[in-house]
């Protein structure tokens, strides 16, 4: 009897021990380990990201430049998949059957329980047809997104584009998640934080057939998306589109600025592209096609990324620095000694105004010599070193030799060589003015980008100061200008020294002997300066900067036409037509306009230098 009692106690002990194990396991599963809980929730709930509406971009006078259009991502949850006809899905989506299997494998590798993107950026029209067939494919569902759309095929380089975030970018900013879109270039990148808004989330209850039954807990755990802020841009859409028409068939750029504010009126980079190509399901294919075009490089923003020698236009900067430093006056005459450097035209002993009007090379050879060799040191080498340090500092105050802080990323700064530059090139005490005199006429080692040249035109129009060029007037509905762009930047040259320069630039356009007669307008006094950028052995680049009218200027402009001719032949008339379009709202000089439309330079060379 006692042995039976002992056995009973053993059995009870075993049962108690087993029960304790079950209780401990249940406690671990329900309280300590969340994996089972998460698995159960993932079977019953669907977490849907609510993507915010990206901010719109408006142009000058309220014209819409970029808006949003409804689109959808097709999502997949691998755990909920059932056997389905892959060929039928391939037909519905218009993709290869092998790609479906590859994407399903990638989705499973990412997570069997979480949704991942299977096919992205499906237009609303295409998704309407696809959604009718989704009941055949358990585990798939649509998630609403938006696509950027451009009502006019203009300003692609300035506006920029968005793309799916890269793994590297994901590591840099924990706000983003896989599959998010982010600004890649232009305004879309610079103002990404303002445009993107904030994500929300809906928690939905779904049944075993993947059918949504409603919001979980009556929407208690849902959060609303916050729309992004709108940008109000300074771009004049009509002027921008007109500039792009003028530059059809040509390489180069046009940058126009309102001098009184620094607002960029247009930023044309040619060849360009239709911004709608980098939107939607064909974006990757279109991007590859554009990027592969290494002859025309349509993705390359020449307005901020192309570096050229400034050519004769730089003689204006040399004049202003020399005037400020007291090395010349407006009445200083210098003989046109063509034995030291070549020149053109019939002039011999100009004052400053006439020297700019005739673009006299020997005049500015001597002006530059006086700036570099000031006689402050006994050694010609040390004297040149001292002179170039002062000269470089003065040049940089005009916005050269460093990136201008405009509100799009990736702006180049150009090159203003100094003592360190030439020490590396030639060695210490191995160079002097005679080594570097080509800088005097805007050649040599000088390099500028077009935005800097437009800014120079604005500085002269303002008689000595400029506002940082910018593309956005205000963010959101405040209407307030952004602070960095409301502060005057001084050139370091007194206003009175600009008067002979302005007079000379007027003569360049409006008087016989000037180099920019093709920029002349009947009722408006245009002030400008031509440049011809040497490009041996190929044709030279045509360059022109200008502003108009002479008093109370409304527009300052810089135009580059690559591989064309002398600056007055093409860049000057293009600039003139742009100024006419902006000031009057129309162009009446149709013969001049047609001449520009007909000019084609793209086919001359296979690859730009």
Distance CA 459, CA 546 (A): 11
The pLDDT value recorded for residue 255 is 98
Domain boundary among 213, 233, 253: 233
Provide the CATH number for the domain around residue 124: 3.90.1310.10
Mean pLDDT confidence for 149-169: 92
In a domain, 290, yes or no: no
CA 214 remoteness from chain centre: 44
> Does residue 33 carry a pLDDT above 70?
no
Q: How confident is the model at residue 22 (pLDDT cuts 50, 70, 90)?
A: low
In a domain, 63, yes or no: yes
Provide the CATH number for the domain around residue 467: 3.40.710.10
Helix (H) or strand (E) holding 146: strand 140-149
More confidently predicted of 609 and 500: 500
Q: How confident is the model at residue 249 (pLDDT cuts 50, 70, 90)?
A: very high
Please tell me the total count of domains within the chain. Answer: 2
Close Cβ partners of 96 (under 8 Å, ≥ 6 residues apart): 90
Looking at the structure, do residues 193 and 103 belong to the same domain, yes or no?
yes
Mean pLDDT confidence for 165-175: 88
Distance CA 255, CA 266 (A): 6
Looking at the structure, do residues 216 and 246 belong to the same domain, yes or no?
no
Q: Provide DSSP, 448-485.
A: B-HHHHHHHHHHHHTTSEEEPPBSEEEETTS-PPPGGG
Exposure of 24 by Cβ count < 10 A (0-12 exposed, 13-18 middle, 19+ buried)? exposed
Distance CA 442, CA 558 (A): 16
Mean pLDDT confidence for 284-310: 89
User: Which structural domain range is residue 114 located in?
Assistant: 46-233
Q: How confident is the model at residue 605 (pLDDT cuts 50, 70, 90)?
A: low
> Does residue 125 carry a pLDDT above 60?
yes
Looking at the structure, do residues 165 and 243 belong to the same domain, yes or no?
no
Looking at the structure, do residues 248 and 219 belong to the same domain, yes or no?
no
Looking at the structure, do residues 264 and 206 belong to the same domain, yes or no?
no
165 and 181 Cβ atoms separated by less than 8 Å = yes
- Ramachandran area for residue 572 (φ above 0: left; ψ -120 to 50: alpha; else beta): alpha
Over the range 184-215, which residues count as b (16 or more CB within 10 Å of their CB) and which as e? bbbbbbbbbebbbbebeebbbebeeebeeeee
Q: pTM here?
A: 0.87
Looking at the structure, do residues 209 and 308 belong to the same domain, yes or no?
no
Mean pLDDT confidence for 59-83: 90
The DSSP call for residue 501 is: H
Looking at the structure, do residues 68 and 54 belong to the same domain, yes or no?
yes
Mean pLDDT confidence for 538-544: 87
Looking at the structure, do residues 252 and 326 belong to the same domain, yes or no?
yes
In a domain, 337, yes or no: yes
In a domain, 24, yes or no: no
In a domain, 98, yes or no: yes
The pLDDT value recorded for residue 28 is 61
Looking at the structure, do residues 228 and 243 belong to the same domain, yes or no?
no
Over the range 458-477, which residues count as b (16 or more CB within 10 Å of their CB) and which as e? bbbbbbbbbbbbbbbbbbee
In a domain, 282, yes or no: no
β-strand partners of 198: 226
559 and 249 Cβ atoms separated by less than 8 Å = no
CA dihedral 485, 489, 495, 500 (to 10 degrees): -90
Which of 3-17, 194-208, 288-302, 348-362: highest mean pLDDT? Answer: 348-362
In a domain, 31, yes or no: no
Looking at the structure, do residues 266 and 376 belong to the same domain, yes or no?
yes
Over the range 58-92, which residues count as b (16 or more CB within 10 Å of their CB) and which as e? bbbeeeebbbbeebbbbbbbbebbeeeeeeebbeb
> Does residue 41 carry a pLDDT above 70?
no
Measured distance between the N- and C-terminal CA atoms of the chain, rounded to whole angstroms: 108
The DSSP call for residue 549 is: S
- pLDDT tens figures, 510-537: 998 788 899 999 889 999 999 887 777 7
From 398, 460, 443, select the one nearest 308 (Cα to Cα): 443
Distance CA 294, CA 65 (A): 28
Comparing 5-9, 117-121, 151-155, 424-428, the range with the smallest average pLDDT is: 5-9
Distance CA 500, CA 497 (A): 7
The pLDDT value recorded for residue 36 is 43
Q: How confident is the model at residue 39 (pLDDT cuts 50, 70, 90)?
A: very low
Mean pLDDT confidence for 267-273: 95
In a domain, 6, yes or no: no
The dihedral sign for the CA sequence 305, 309, 314, 317? positive
Q: How confident is the model at residue 449 (pLDDT cuts 50, 70, 90)?
A: very high
Looking at the structure, do residues 168 and 63 belong to the same domain, yes or no?
yes
Reported residue count of the chain is 609
Domain boundary among 202, 233, 264: 233
Looking at the structure, do residues 488 and 339 belong to the same domain, yes or no?
yes
């Amino acid at each position: 009897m006692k042995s039976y009692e002992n056995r009973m106690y053993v059995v009870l002990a075993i049962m108690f021990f087993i029960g304790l194990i079950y209780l401990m396991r249940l406690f671990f599963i329900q309280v300590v380990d969340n994996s089972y809980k998460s698995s159960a929730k993932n079977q019953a709930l669907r977490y849907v990201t609510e993507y915010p509406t990206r901010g719109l971009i408006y142009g000058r006078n309220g014209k819409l430049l970029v808006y949003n259009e409804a689109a959808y991502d097709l999502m997949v949850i691998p755990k909920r998949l059932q056997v389905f006809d892959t060929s039928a899905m391939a037909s519905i989506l218009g993709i290869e059957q092998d790609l479906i299997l590859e994407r399903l494998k990638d989705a499973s590798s990412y997570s069997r329980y979480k949704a991942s993107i299977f096919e992205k950026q499906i237009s609303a029209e295409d998704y309407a047809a696809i959604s009718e067939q989704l009941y055949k494919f358990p585990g798939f569902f649509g998630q609403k997104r938006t696509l950027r759309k451009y009502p006019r095929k203009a300003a692609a380089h300035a506006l920029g584009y968005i793309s799916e975030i890269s793994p590297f970018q994901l590591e840099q900013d924990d706000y983003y998640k896989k599959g998010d879109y982010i600004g890649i270039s232009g305004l879309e990148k610079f103002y990404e934080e303002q445009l993107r808004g904030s994500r929300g989330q809906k928690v939905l209850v779904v049944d075993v057939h993947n059918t949504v039954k409603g919001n979980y807990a009556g929407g208690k755990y849902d959060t609303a998306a916050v729309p992004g802020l709108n940008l109000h841009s300074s771009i004049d859409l009509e002027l921008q589109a007109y500039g792009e028409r003028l530059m059809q068939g040509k390489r180069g750029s046009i940058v126009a600025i309102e001098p009184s504010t620094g607002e960029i009126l247009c930023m044309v980079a040619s060849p360009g592209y239709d911004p709608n190509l980098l939107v939607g399901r064909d974006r990757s294919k279109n991007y590859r096609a554009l990027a592969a075009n290494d002859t025309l490089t349509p993705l390359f923003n020449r307005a901020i990324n192309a570096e050229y020698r400034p050519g004769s236009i730089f003689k204006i900067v040399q004049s202003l620095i020399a005037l400020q430093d007291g090395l010349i006056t407006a009445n200083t005459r210098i003989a046109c000694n063509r034995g030291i450097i070549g020149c053109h035209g019939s002039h011999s002993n100009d004052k400053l105004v006439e020297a700019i009007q005739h673009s006299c090379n020997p005049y500015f050879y001597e002006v530059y010599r006086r700036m570099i060799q000031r006689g402050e040191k006994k050694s010609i080498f040390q004297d040149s070193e001292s002179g170039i340090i002062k000269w470089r500092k003065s040049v940089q105050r005009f916005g050269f030799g460093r990136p201008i802080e405009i509100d799009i990323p990736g702006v180049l700064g150009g090159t203003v060589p100094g003592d360190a530059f030439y020490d590396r090139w030639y060695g210490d005490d191995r160079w002097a003015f005679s080594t570097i005199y080509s800088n005097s006429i805007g050649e040599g080692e000088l390099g500028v980008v077009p935005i800097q040249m437009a800014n120079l035109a604005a500085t002269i129009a303002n008689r000595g100061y400029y506002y940082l060029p910018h593309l956005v007037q205000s963010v959101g509905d405040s209407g307030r200008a952004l602070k960095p762009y409301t502060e005057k930047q001084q050139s370091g040259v007194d206003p009175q020294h600009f008067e002979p320069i302005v007079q000379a630039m007027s003569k360049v356009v409006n008087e016989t002997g000037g180099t920019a007669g093709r920029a002349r307008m009947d009722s408006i006094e245009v002030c400008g300066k031509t440049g011809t950028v040497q490009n041996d052995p190929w044709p030279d680049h045509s360059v022109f900067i200008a502003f108009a009218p002479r008093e109370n200027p409304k527009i300052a402009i810089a135009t580059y036409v690559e591989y064309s001719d002398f600056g007055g032949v093409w860049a000057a008339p293009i600039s003139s037509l742009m100024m006419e379009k902006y000031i009057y709202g129309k162009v009446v000089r149709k013969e001049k306009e047609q001449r520009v439309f007909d000019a084609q330079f793209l086919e001359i060379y296979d690859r730009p230098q």
